[in-house]
Amino acid sequence: MKNRDDFLPVSMEDVKKRGWSDIDFVYVSGDAYVDHPSFGAAIITRVLESRGFRVAVLAQPDYKSTKDFMRFGRPRLGFLVSSGNIDSMVAHYTVSKKRRSYDYYSPGGKMGYRPDRAVIVYSNRIREAYGDVPVIIGGLEASLRRFAHYDYWDDRVRRSILVDSRADILTYGMGENIILRIATLLDRGIPIKKIRDVRGTVYLAKKGEKVNYDYIETADYDVLKTDKEAYAKAFAVQYKNTDSVRGKAILEYYGDKVLVQNPPMPPLEREELDFVYSLPYVRDYHPDYDELGGVSAINEVKFSLTHNRGCFGACNFCAIAFHQGREVRSRSEESVIKEAKLLTELPDFKGYIHDVGGPTANFRYPSCDKQREQGVCPGRKCLSPTPCKHLKVDHSEYAHLLREIEKIDKVKKVFVRSGIRFDYLIYDKDPSFFKQLVEHHVSGQLKVAPEHISQNALMMMGKPPVEVYEKFRDKYFHLCERAGKEQYLVPYLMSSHPGTTLDDAIEMALWLKKFGYSPEQVQDFYPTPGTISTVMFYTGIHPMTGKKIYVTTDYHEKQLQRALLQYSKPENRNLVREALHKAGRDDLIGNTEGCLVRPAFGQDRDSYHKVKSFEREGKRGAKKAPHGRTNQFQRTNGKGKSAKSTNSYNSVTKKEKSNKKA
């Protein structure tokens, strides 16, 4: 039974029960209040609490007036503002800019509890209520929008969120040490406008004001909002300075004001991470939400463990490098095992640890020894297009950690469900972890992210060549067969990424056909702030090379690329024919084995009747599909024999699973 007294105060009644005469910080969040270390709000508030600061939580306040923001009165030190675990616009809209119907971070999944552009709205309401009270913004939305940024929903370059929110300071990246430093200075009586030297912060100053670090200048916002080449160059500067060792301060101009980003705060080291995850989280949503249907975002993480931070994979479409950084750090085995034991004592624990992961599950250390002293290489990726010669590949500690967790009393199984970096895994000359993963830690299916197979597309995405994925796939199914296990792959695929063409999509479709893949879901590229790919989408320029690239912005052409990746779906036939005709590949329209789609009705009446005959047979339980493709409800077992899927398997996911013949 949850006890509301175990949570931080959410009302004045809670504050009075604690005997507090005042509050140091009010933490305003666009998410419902979930006290779990997978939620940034929980970590920041618990870290402040551990240092003696009095913190109240104002989750999803009524943003249409100032009343809710005055619930706790004026805090002694200030307001901390975040939109929640994800950008509020991503939380509200699909890639086609349609309003979502379900919010995983709100009670009962109901939409409407937070506004669009939550950080801006909340901060301006606070200003209306209290004038010059210190306002510090942070979290993912603030972090990724800290500079002038292309906004997909407005289809224009918006100002830094610090400017639009009228906040005093923006914190970016992992915020524990940043917020503690700011809180300590405020507690000493230092005015918020005088706090100018904290790493990991952004502030507005007057032109000519002294900057405390070596800096690089970019451009004025009036230039960035219209000059795409200048915008791409500015982003390249920002991206190359996300490293805490090499990174310099960056200046961006707004008329007579200058936006100053101080260099990044160094990542938390092992002992610091251990402390953060040892704090007294309730690991559940606040009891106020019980009657509203709870908060479903807790379901995926309640029995999962985060063991690392950062990712040196640095895919171009991913914002982790711009937010958490490429410097990987991990918790000690003792810390993770202690948390695992804690999970076994929760009343609804069923014996399964759902995940031991992070941004990338199989990273434990920096990619090479020199990173701690020299930082991350600004002009070289660690894994793509080929692995760096300095790359250290070692899964031994991670493998040992998983085995030790499995030994804990009450633990039946430990799974790995967050992203496994398959190229890093296949580069390991010691095959023991791969074997252990397949035999012990796959819950029926393993999620991996090849994203595409065209070399052109993969280069644009910052992914390894398709041959690396194929080698991984073959090894995976070989190990599954040796273990006598019927297990699947869930390869995530992306359409319409900047730089990709219809020819790339056709190449992908032919590859899917060759290996019998039938993807149920394909992700259209979603331009979100803070990624190389989004800059490419907006400018048509690769910011790291300066080269111009082809970009698909036309909605119909995006539909054509997506349809090709799901060419076998009946509803996509007309789009596939159109795409093939547009690309000059009419040779792939026909009735032969090598074709992707049959001719349209009227072009070949005989083939039309054959198709209708097949569809009638399919409704009667036919097991084979055209072109020899296995029916999507069949898979092969670990011994290579055909096996029908069970109802429980069909309910696991609608995402694409590859069969054993792949």
For 552-561, write each residue's pLDDT tens digit: 989 999 999 9
Please report the pLDDT score of residue 627 as a whole number.
37
Q: Give CA–CA dist 596/276, Å, rounded.
A: 53
DSSP E strand stretches across 594-646? 634-636, 642-644
- Candidate from 347-356, 383-392, 545-554, 638-647 with smallest mean pLDDT: 638-647
Which of 121-125, 298-302, 639-643 has the weakest average pLDDT? 639-643
User: What are the DSSP calls for 186-237, one per residue?
Assistant: HHTT--GGG----TTEEEEEETT---SS-EEEEEEHHHHTT-HHHHHHHHHH
Q: Is residue 262 classed as helix, strand or coil in its secondary structure? A: coil
Note the helical H segments in 441-501. Answer: 455-461, 466-483
Cα Rg for the chain, rounded, in angstroms?
A: 26
- Cβ–Cβ contacts within 10 Å for residue 435, how many? 15
Pairing state of beta strands 78-82 and 25-29?
A: parallel
With pLDDT > 70 as the criterion, what percentage of the chain qualifies?
91
Mean pLDDT for 505-515 is 95
Whether 484 has a pLDDT exceeding 80, the answer reads: yes
260 and 211 Cβ atoms separated by less than 8 Å: yes
pLDDT in tens, 417-446: 988 999 999 999 999 999 999 999 999 999
* Degrees to nearest 5, angle at CA 119 with 113 and 122: 65
Residue 624 banded pLDDT, cuts 50, 70, 90 = very low
**Sole residue written with tokens 């224009």:** 156
Measured CA to CA, the distance from residue 282 to residue 3 in angstroms comes to 9
Q: Is the pLDDT reported for residue 538 higher than 50?
A: yes
Supply angle C-alpha 255, 260, 262, rounded to 5.
175
Question: Residues 73-87: pLDDT tens digits?
Answer: 999 999 999 999 999
| Token digits of residue 51 | 């240092």
Across residues 40-63, what is the average pLDDT?
98
Q: Read off the pLDDT of each residue in 266-274 and give the average, rounded to a whole number.
A: 97
Q: Give me the chain's average pLDDT, please.
A: 91
Q: Is pLDDT of 576 > 90?
A: yes
pLDDT of the residue at 629: 34
For 331, 332, 425, 426, 432, the CA distances from 400, given in Å and listed in that order, are 14, 12, 15, 18, 11
Closest by alpha carbon to 326, among 368, 387, 356? 368
The answer to whether residue 618 scores a pLDDT higher than 60 is no
Q: How far is the C-alpha of 126 from the C-alpha of 132, rounded, in Å?
A: 9
Query: What percent of the chain stands above pLDDT 90?
Result: 86
Q: Kindly state the tokens that stand for 591.
A: 């009735």
At residue 661, does pLDDT exceed 50?
no
Question: What is the predicted pLDDT for the residue at 608?
Answer: 43
Q: For residue 152, give the nearest of 527, 536, 558 by alpha carbon.
A: 527
Q: What pLDDT shows up at residue 2?
A: 86
pLDDT grade for 531, boundaries at 50, 70 and 90: very high
Coil, helix or strand at residue 132: coil
What pLDDT score was predicted for residue 640? 36
- Residue 220 bridge partners (DSSP): 253
Q: What would the pLDDT profile of 160-215 be if each residue is shown by its tens digit? A: 999 999 999 999 999 999 999 999 999 999 999 999 999 999 999 999 999 999 99
CA–CA gap between residue 176 and residue 181 (Å, rounded): 9
Distance from chain centroid for Cα 173 = 14
CA 514 to chain CA centroid, Å, is 30
- Which stretch of DSSP H or E encloses residue 512? helix 502-515
Q: Quick one: pLDDT at residue 516?
A: 87
Domains defined for the chain, CATH in brackets: 4-202 (3.40.50.2300), 303-443 (3.30.750.210)
The separation between CA 343 and the C-alpha centre of its own chain, rounded to angstroms, equals: 24
Q: How confident is the model at residue 521 (pLDDT cuts 50, 70, 90)?
A: confident
Q: Would you call the peptide bond into 385 cis, given omega within 30 degrees of 0 as the criterion?
A: yes
Band the pLDDT of 469: cuts 50, 70, 90: very high
pLDDT digits (tens, 9 = 90+) for 383-402: 999 999 999 999 999 999 99
481 vs 608, residue with greater confidence: 481
Q: What is the mean pLDDT of residues 631-658?
A: 34
How far the first Cα of the chain sits from its last, in Å, is: 48
- Of 660 and 589, the structure prediction assigns the larger pLDDT to 589
Mean pLDDT for the stretch of residues 52-63: 98
Predicted confidence at residue 644, as pLDDT, reads 33
Handedness of CA 99, 100, 102, 107 (dihedral sign): negative
Q: Residue 648's pLDDT is what?
A: 30
pLDDT at residue 602, rounded to an integer: 61
Bridge partners, residue 414, by sequence = 353
Of 654, 628, 642, which Cα lies nearest the Cα of 568?
A: 628
State the Cα angle at 67 between 65 and 73, rounded to 5°: 140
pLDDT digits (tens, 9 = 90+) for 601-613: 765 544 444 444 4
Distances (CA, A) of 401 to 236, 396, 482: 37, 9, 24
Report the C-alpha gap between 532 and 525 in whole angstroms.
Answer: 12
**How far apart are alpha carbons 184 and 188 in whole angstroms?**
6
Flag whether pLDDT at 309 surpasses 60: yes
**pLDDT at residue number 418:** 83
